[in-house]
Amino acid sequence: MMECKPVTTPMDSGTKLVKTSGVKEEDQQLPYRELVGALTYLSTMTRPDIAFAVRNLSQFNNCYSTEHWKGAKRVLRYLKGTSNLGLVYKSKSGNLEGFVDADWGNNIEDRKSYSGYLFSLGGSAISWYSRK
């Protein structure tokens, strides 16, 4: 992945991942769960910009396929292209702002909603969450 081509978004807007009936034998060799676990840590601690994509990928830990693996690798390609981004906290605090959004049951698998929030202080994220 060190020589991969970076992408500008962590998840393709047209991507609709679906559950598989089980993990195929050839897909069991993929370190999908390990990669999603590492990405979960990053999205929780330092990279709120990948939280939605990682949350979407993590729901397939028991039923992933090559398509899910490609989606996880896309997040890595995004991280490679945005390695210069980070959270910066300045000594002078500014305004406290909050943002929230939901998609109201848009998941085609189970009709559950995705929702998330972000709070920022002085333009820097201080709290964020994405959930199904």
Residues 17 and 48 in one domain: yes
Give the DSSP H/E element, type plus range, for residue 81.
Answer: helix 66-81
Domain count, the chain: 2
Residues 120 and 64 in one domain: no
- Band of pLDDT at residue 122, cut at 50, 70 and 90: confident
| C-alpha atoms less than 13 angstroms from C-alpha of 79 in its C-beta half-sphere | 20
Residues 97 and 82 in one domain: no
Q: Among all chains, which residue has been given the structure tokens 């991280």?
A: 79
Residues 104 and 61 in one domain: no
Residues 98 and 66 in one domain: no
Residues 1 and 44 in one domain: yes
Phi-psi region of 73 (alpha: psi -120 to 50; beta: other; left: phi over 0): alpha
Contact yes or no for 68/32 (Cβ under 8 A) = yes
pTM for the full predicted model: 0.76
Distances (CA, A) of 39 to 36, 49, 84: 5, 11, 17
DSSP secondary structure, 22-80, as one string = S--TTGGGS-HHHHHHHHHHHHHHT-GGGHHHHHHHHTTTTS--HHHHHHHHHHHHHHH
pLDDT in tens, 81-95: 999 988 777 777 788
Give the domain extent around 106.
87-132
Q: Tell me the mean pLDDT in the region 111-118.
A: 84
Residues 50 and 91 in one domain: no
Determine the pLDDT at residue 107: 65
